[in-house]
Amino acid sequence: MKTILNPAKSAWKTILERPTKTVDDIEKTVLQIFDDVQKNGDTAVDKYTSLFDGVQLKDKLVTTTEIEEAIQAISPELKEAIRVAHQNIWLFHKSQKTEKVAVETFRGVFCWQEKRPIQKVGLYIPGGTAPLFSTVLMLAIPAQIAGCKEIVLCSPPNKEGKIHPAILYTAHLCGVTKIVKVGGIQAIAGLTFGTNDIPQVYKIFGPGNQFVTVAKQLATKYGVAIDMPAGPSELLVVADDSANASYVAADLLSQAEHGIDSQVVLVTTSKVLIEEVSSEISKQIAQLPRKEIAAKAMENSVAIFVENDAIALDLINEYGPEHFIVATNNNAFYVDNIANAGSVFIGNYTPESAGDYASGTNHTLPTNGFSKAYSGVNLDSFLKSITFQEITKVGIQGLGKQIEIMAETEGLQAHKNAVTLRLNDLK
């Protein structure tokens, strides 16, 4: 983990650069696979599953028997943990429901807005080095609350052609309607175009590696919406002398172990803390089963010393972290003034891991600086707002003249006529 002292503002962009490839490096591969899947459907999907995942599947749809086996394979302790997490996530997302918004904007003109579920959604659940069954909770629960009719889950198979039982158990618990053993670019392409085995969906959700992120962005060119560009995990911790160095180190490592392209950043007003955290990282990383992954990610990471909280806040908003931990004597300053962050964790006893699993908030969040413009996944992500209006005779007589004038000024005579005909009939 590199240490940088008092960097000039002109250098912030460079030192905060993410360790990701450019879209140009990846897009050619993604385009090739999309084209193949669009033309050849499941044949192409199966080919890339064999190539990238090293397994040939007779059937990529998960059966009822496989789900039953997964339910039996999960320990009672894990089932209870998932149940508690499910309850908290359900409560938090259920509370986000809003009522119909209605107003009489003009005498006799009634306008209202109602929300309707997106009928077909695709959930991408990473497998790879870490089977993220927690992401199933984060995506399927709000989809279920929203009332989505089709919830299709795609996750890469292991070398035995199976999906981790915790993913299958959680998917079953959360009402997923179809589970497909497919990952990577080919999964996103399948959800985009539809195949015999993979239903075409209207919106795709879920995190993934850089190839999955670019594939999701490409899907939008074919009329499929996405939740956000969510790539490799990242965390920024702001801390001072009041912080517990071992906690800070543990939080940094918790994100570093996600993958070699993850990034963690420490911003602090204490040079002493940097030394203490570095020492703790060295101690803790040696005990991690995924220490090689974490160590590689730490090469992409940086500790930055700044003179005061105001400078720290400016730097953090420039970075726009996915996860943001605040452990300072002045937490309220950061909480009140943060503008760009996916999710914020406050105080010494709020590890980012809580949000990843069980506190209730969603962990599918914008990365790579997209928190400047994107929200994390929430209930509204699975809903569409539809507006309605009803105009009475009194309403069209009162508002009609204004509509006529505006339409005529824009040179749209048919628009004006649609009003004029009605007004004439009411004379």
Q: Which residues are annotated as a binding site for NAD(+)?
A: 124, 186, 209
d(CA 321, CA 327): 15
Which residues participate in the annotated binding site for Zn(2+)? 255, 258, 356, 415
The verdict on whether 164 is a catalytic residue reads no
Give which of 156, 144, 132, 155 is closest to 82, Cα–Cα: 132
Question: Among the options 323, 352, 390, 404, which is catalytic?
Answer: 323
Angle between helices 23-53 and 210-219 (to 10 degrees): 110
Which residue in the list 234, 322, 352, 363 is annotated as catalytic? 322
| Residues that constitute the known binding site for substrate | 233, 255, 258, 323, 356, 410, 415
Q: In what order do the strands lie in the sheet containing 150-155?
A: 178-181, 150-155, 120-124, 203-205, 225-226
Contact in structure between 412 and 397 (CB atoms under 8 Å): no
- 69 by Cβ neighbours in 10 Å (0-12 / 13-18 / 19+) ranks as middle
Instruction: Give the residue ranges of the annotated binding site.
Output: 124, 186, 209, 233, 255, 258, 323, 356, 410, 415
CB 180 within 8 A of CB 61: yes
Nearest Cα residue to 361 out of 347, 379, 374, 349: 379
Q: Which of 234, 238, 237 is nearest to 256 (CA)?
A: 234
352 is an active site residue: no
Q: How far apart are CA 389 and CA 60, in angstroms?
A: 46
Catalogue the active-site residues: 322-323
